[in-house]
Structure 1
């Protein structure tokens, strides 16, 4: 790509896609510091407030299988615009909610619509770029996507100093409205008409079924989801860990998330540097082994030292480093399994990830947040399961598939196994 337009796209695309990807984690984490004020205002318990997280995640997960196939049929840009516009409306509804029940209704709408930007944006880089360039750009986007859960609670805490809890949802609405304008003006359509599938129920469902029947897809997808889940349990339980277990205040979420920010940036840089230098499979294997080692050390520290800073936050940070180093490559591997159905692949991957995260936030976290030790054990179990699934993937025979590079290697530099 040498034209001025292509050079502009090289810089604009990651920035726009990072902004779209941030909608999801910002929707989850920005309200965390406001939970206590919302709980008092609505007259509900802290356990009931966890529904604000799990309701969003479950609805996002239930809708996620459909955004990608629709973008395969209609194009990426219309699906992104429709989803983000509906998200603006949902965020306004959340800000105006008079009780928890109403808030949860609009949180459902937020979850149903956010995937239009979050999910579909992940396919655009692979639509345009291949090989090491695709991995480098995916790493940039993933860095910002992974940073969002860390900085969102900090922003939420600052917003609470400006106004009452609805200000967090007004912030989401304004951010999404800005994204709508940016997409309309600057985002090109990366999925031309000649590549699209028919807009028929049979074709859309058939694309999803083809992905769902693929065992290699499941092994890689669940490996990535479980590995991220080991980090996400700290993110989803941030309000309990920071306020209840560490005894800190609504402006102190940085204590947990600042180390995550540094680790995410380092992991992203490692993934970007490795592009074209280290085979993709080798990079993922090394990163996941690092995650398991970090998780074991985290359990040892949490169960012996307890909720003592800074030791209690080092383990989650190391997990984030390993996860972010592996995640861009794993996503590209999944997309390259289905060159003509990338939307379906990323949709099902997101569905599985959000289903797991919703379960972690709503069903697992309430039972493992009695101490930092039990949180660490739950995290380690998920990371270990992710590594085992990845090793299963490496040991399984690969059926003949389309090779997008024509080189006998996958597009992220890993020899096919």
Structure 2
């Protein structure tokens, strides 16, 4: 770096970047308690309701290919502010949607812009800090960000149940499921104001590169044709899917299989997110101390052990109930985040000259499969705890097969995770 850009206080920057990153997962999970009311309002069935997640994720995945390159060309602050304005428009559109089709259109607009804070926020950290400073800031962001998926359904349930107090006779378009989107709109407005006030431009004009789609896709073609990248992308995608199959089908699991109410989504989300955070914490402590093969092997031992426990409980506990049905989900999440940071590092180091591009392509593949899982496969397997357990176990097993494939095609696997890995370990893997 030729010079260090001006930045706000570290704690303020960590809070702001974490809040920006929280938009994506919060917007997925907060809507779950509103499913029954939206179903009644528009006469939509469970399969149609799942599309509110899948269209969001498809749009999220598509834009993830371009966001990093756009911020390299036009500046971090500009892209973040533009994304927040688009997200605000999509959120207001959801609140006022007159039909299910309109709701899905505006959900896709939300998804297209929700990931900008996370993707560009990481670039801001790397613009401003290096080494231990960057590691510490990423850890602070990860800690705050990790709370979003656990808090989202709790906040969503409270907003859906809000009766408009202290307003005397609130209009229908303000309360119920509408209140969820109005609250998100207010939060987005606050973020826009905060970014205008304190977020500097951290990517100097002299360091910017032109946004050239032809060059971008030429690089991407080289990335996806690489066998080692393909193996690692398979591993990361299916490891994540083994966990995400429960998150994507949270309404069916919580409201249908477990027969809880809209205020009891924390029975799933709190253990699941706690598992992810514990896995990220363990990886951060072990990074640089434990060989990569050992770390990944331990992660798969946890995932496959959780899968076996999941199958046993699904057979033995009838009908499904808490905490037994959600316990293996939390344990599996620990294994997912034991494995993910090391594998993300291998992806980035596979293409040192195109690290951002490699990360974008890998994220695109993972998010696209997550969208298919939420909108197509999920409704087919979310009819019982056993079918979910079998599907999750199969995904973890495919991930292990992908890891074995990678070990065969790779010429060398680093023994240790280097200094930069601690930054990735601190970021971990989110629920979405």
Structure 1 362/377 Cα, relative in aligned 2: closer, same or farther at 3 Å?
same
Residue equivalent to 2:322: 309
| Residue of structure 1 in register with 2:255 after alignment | 243
Q: 1:270 to 1:345 in 2, by over 3 A?
A: same
How large is the RMSD of aligned CA atoms in angstroms? Answer: 3.1
Query: How far apart in 1 are the matches of 2:141 and 2:303?
Result: 21
2:364: which partner in 1? 351
Match of 1:187 among 199, 220, 229: 199
The aligned counterpart of 1:370 is: 383
Tell me, in whole angstroms, the C-alpha distance in 2 between the residues paired with 1:21 and 1:161.
Answer: 26
**Please, which moves more after superposition, 343-352 or 251-260?**
343-352
| Structure 1 position 212 matched with structure 2 position 239 | no
* Distance of 2:312 and 2:120 partners within structure 1: 40
Q: 1:398/1:147 Cα in 2 relative to 1: closer, same or farther (>3 Å)?
A: farther
The residue that corresponds to 2:213 in the other structure is 201
Describe the SS at the equivalent of 2:65. helix
Aligned to 1:322: 335
Name the structure 1 match of 2:151: 151
Query: Hey, what does 1:91 align to over in structure 2?
Result: 91
Q: Structure 1, residues 101-121: CA drift from partner, whole Å, max 9, x if none? A: 111111111112223223333
| Change beyond 3 A, Cα 1:409–1:236 | closer
* 1:264-300, Cα deviation, whole Å (9 max, x unpaired): 3322321222234334554334223311221222122
Shift of the 7–106 alpha-carbon distance from structure 1 to 2, 3 Å rule, reads closer
Q: Secondary structure in 1 aligned to 2:176?
A: coil
Residue in 2 aligned with 1:169? 181
The number of residue pairs the alignment matches comes to 408
Secondary structure at the residue paired with 1:316? helix
What is the CA–CA distance in structure 2 between the aligned matches of 1:183 and 1:73, rounded to whole Å? 19
CA distance in structure 2 between the partners assigned to 1:196 and 1:320 by the alignment: 38
Give the C-alpha shift of residue 8 in structure 1. 6.1
Deviation of 1:243 after TM superposition, in Å, equals 0.8
Calculate the TM-score normalised by the size of structure 2: 0.84
| CA distance in structure 1 between the partners assigned to 2:412 and 2:215 by the alignment | 23
Matches within 5 A, 1:27-66: 27-66=27-66
| Aligned residue number for residue 170 of structure 2 | none
Deviation, structure 1 residue 129: 5.0
Return the offset for 1:22: 1.5
Indicate whether 1:289 and 2:301 are aligned.
yes
Q: Provide the C-alpha distance between the structure 1 equivalents of 2:131 and 2:103, rounded to a whole number of angstroms.
A: 44
Distance 1:289 1:41, change over 3 A: same
Q: 2:400 aligns with which of 374, 387, 391?
A: 387
TM-superposed CA distance for 1:195, in Å, is 4.2
CA distance in 2, matches of 1:79, 1:201: 17
Question: Of 410, 421, 425, which residue of structure 2 is paired with 1:397?
Answer: 410
User: Partners of 1:194 and 1:227 in 2: how far apart?
Assistant: 40
Stretches of structure 2 that go unaligned for 5 or more consecutive residues are 163-174, 423-432
CA contact (8 A) 1:125 1:138 kept: yes
> Is the contact between residue 254 and residue 268 of structure 2 (CA under 8 Å) also seen in structure 1?
yes
Q: Take 1:329 and 1:135, find their aligned partners in 2: how far apart are those partners?
A: 15
Please list the CA deviations of residues 87-131 of structure 1 after superposition, one character each: whole Å capped at 9, or x if unmatched.
011101100111111111111111122232233334444455556
CA distance in 2, matches of 1:232, 1:34: 20
Aligned to 2:428: none
Distance 1:185 1:247 in 2: 46
The alpha carbon displacement at 1:331 in A equals: 3.1
Contact 2:220-2:357 at 8 Å conserved across structures = yes
Change (3 A) 1:54 1:117: same
Range that drifts further, 123-132 or 284-293:
123-132
Report the Cα distance in structure 2 between the residues aligned to 1:160 and 1:322, rounded to whole angstroms.
Answer: 34
- Which residue, 271, 274, 278 being the options, matches 1:259? 271
CA distance in 2: counterparts of 1:348 and 1:293, whole angstroms: 30
SS in 2 for 1:227: helix
On the 8 A contact 2:149/2:273 being kept in 1, the answer is no
CA distance in 1 between partners of 2:255 and 2:336 (Å): 26
| Equivalence for 2:80 | 80
Q: Is the 8 A contact 2:252 2:383 kept in 1?
A: no
d(CA) in 1 for partners of 2:315, 2:63: 39
Q: CA deviation at 1:324?
A: 2.6
Q: Secondary structure in 2 aligned to 1:44? A: coil
Gaps of 5+ in 1: none
